[in-house]
C-alpha cells in the first residue's frame, strides 16, 4: 500500500506496492484501454522493458491536456476537478501498460495467490508546461504505432489551431484520415508536417484550396446524409476526386458553383448507385475509387 508520502525524483517505484496512490491518465492519450489485454500479456511474458513515467496532474492541465480517470462501470471519462489537481499524479508515459496492470490487479482481487506483473515507474517533477508538451509529443512521435490522426488530436487539444481542430473533428465523426486531411489541409500531411503541428508551428497550406475543399464538403454533407451514405461521405474517393478537380481548375469559384448545382439535384436513385459502386477485384484499372471517380465526373457532365 502507498504510505502517503509524496513521490520523489530519482526513485524507482513498484505499483504493486503503491495501491492507493491518487493517479490518473491523460484523456487525450491514444486508445490505451483497447490495448489493455495486449499489454497485460506482453508484460506478463517479458516484464516492463522500461519504467513508466509519472508527473503531477497540475502540470498536465497547465500544458493544455486533461487529467482524468476512466469510470469502468459507466464507461466514461471523469475529469480530475481543479481542487484535486495538486493531490493527483498523472501518467505521462505507460498508459497502455497501466491499463494492462489494472487487469492484473483486478485478477489479484479475485484470487489472492495471483501475482500481478511488476509495474515499475519513476516520477519527474516537471514545472514548465512547454517542456512537458515537448516531452509528451516526443514520447508519442518516436513510436511507430502513433498515427498522424492521433498526433493531430494532441495538437488540437493544446494549440487550438483552426485547421487542426477541423481535421480532428472530422476524424472524431468518422472520416478516414486521408479524406479528413484533404478537407482540412488540401493535402495529406507528412510526418514533418505533423511534427510542426504538434510543436505549435504553422504548416504551409494552399489557403484557397483549403477553403474550396471545405466549401465542397459543406455541399456533400447536405446531400449524403444517413448511415447508408456515411462510407461515401467519409471516404477517400470523394475527397481525392474533389481535390484533383479543384487543383486543375483555375476558376475554382465556377467549379464550386457547378458542384453545388449538380450535386444538389442528385436523385435518390443516383445516390444509391454511388453507394453500391464497387471496383473489379484484382483489376487495378477498375478500383472502387476509379469507378466512383467516373460516376462523379458524370454528375458534372449531366
Percentage of the chain exceeding pLDDT 70: 94
Give the residue among 121, 124, 150 at the shortest CA–CA distance from 137: 150
Task: Give the Å distances, CA to CA, from 207 to 115, 234, 284.
Answer: 57, 22, 33
Verdict on whether the full-model pTM lies above 0.85:
no
197 burial level (CB within 10 Å; 0-12, 13-18, 19+): buried
Cα gap 38→206, rounded to integer Å: 42
149-185 pLDDT, tens digit each: 676 776 777 777 888 889 888 988 899 989 999 999 9
Terminal-residue alpha carbon distance, the chain: 73
Per-residue pLDDT, 215: 97
220-275 pLDDT, tens digit each: 999 999 888 999 999 999 999 999 999 999 999 999 999 999 999 999 999 999 99
Cα gap 69→88, rounded to integer Å: 11
Does residue 107 contact residue 73 with C-beta atoms inside 8 Å?
A: no
DSSP-derived pairing of the beta strands 52-56 and 120-123: parallel
261 torsion bin: left (phi>0), alpha (psi -120 to 50), beta (else): alpha
59 torsion bin: left (phi>0), alpha (psi -120 to 50), beta (else): alpha
Q: Where are the domains of the chain?
A: 13-146, 153-301
Q: Helix, strand, coil: what percent of the chain each, to 5?
A: 55, 10, 35
Does residue 154 contact residue 139 with C-beta atoms inside 8 Å?
A: no
Per-residue pLDDT, 146: 58
Mean pLDDT of the chain: 90
Q: How confident is the model at residue 285 (pLDDT cuts 50, 70, 90)?
A: confident
Question: DSSP secondary structure string, 222-277?
Answer: HHS-SGGGHHHHHSHHHHHHHHHHHHT-S-HHHHHHHHHHHHHT--HHHHHHHHH-
Q: How confident is the model at residue 7 (pLDDT cuts 50, 70, 90)?
A: very high
Amino acid at each position: 500500500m502507498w504510505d502517503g508520502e509524496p513521490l520523489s525524483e530519482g526513485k524507482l517505484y513498484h505499483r504493486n506496492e503503491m495501491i492507493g496512490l491518487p493517479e490518473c491518465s491523460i484523456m487525450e492519450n491514444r486508445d490505451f484501454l483497447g490495448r489493455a489485454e495486449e499489454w497485460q500479456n506482453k508484460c506478463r511474458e517479458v516484464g516492463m522493458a522500461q519504467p513508466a513515467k509519472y508527473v503531477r496532474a497540475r502540470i498536465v492541465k497547465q500544458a493544455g491536456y486533461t487529467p482524468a480517470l476512466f469510470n469502468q462501470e459507466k464507461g466514461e471519462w471523469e475529469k480530475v476537478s481543479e481542487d484535486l489537481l495538486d493531490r493527483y499524479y498523472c501518467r505521462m508515459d505507460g498508459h497502455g501498460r497501466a491499463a494492462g496492470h489494472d487487469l492484473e490487479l483486478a485478477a489479484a482481487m479475485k484470487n489472492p495467490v495471483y501475482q500481478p506483473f511488476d509495474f515499475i515507474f519513476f516520477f519527474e517533477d516537471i514545472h514548465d508546461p512547454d517542456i512537458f508538451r515537448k516531452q509528451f509529443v516526443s514520447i508519442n512521435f518516436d513510436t511507430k504505432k502513433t498515427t498522424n490522426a492521433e498526433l493531430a488530436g494532441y495538437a488540437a487539444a493544446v494549440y487550438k489551431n483552426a485547421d487542426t481542430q477541423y481535421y480532428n473533428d472530422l476524424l472524431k465523426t468518422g472520416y478516414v484520415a486521408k479524406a479528413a486531411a484533404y478537407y482540412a489541409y488540401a493535402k495529406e500531411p507528412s510526418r514533418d508536417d505533423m511534427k510542426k503541428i504538434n510543436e505549435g508551428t504553422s504548416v504551409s497550406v494552399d489557403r484557397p484550396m483549403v477553403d474550396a475543399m471545405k466549401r465542397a464538403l459543406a455541399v456533400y454533407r447536405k446531400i449524403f446524409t444517413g448511415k447508408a451514405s456515411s462510407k461515401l461521405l467519409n471516404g477517400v474517393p470523394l475527397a481525392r476526386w474533389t481535390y484533383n478537380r479543384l487543383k486543375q481548375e483555375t476558376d475554382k469559384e465556377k467549379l464550386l458553383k457547378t458542384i453545388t448545382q449538380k450535386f444538389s439535384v442528385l436523385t435518390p436513385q443516383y445516390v444509391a448507385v454511388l453507394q453500391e459502386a464497387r471496383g473489379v477485384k484484382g483489376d487495378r484499372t477498375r478500383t472502387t475509387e476509379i469507378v466512383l471517380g467516373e460516376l462523379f465526373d458524370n454528375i458534372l457532365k449531366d
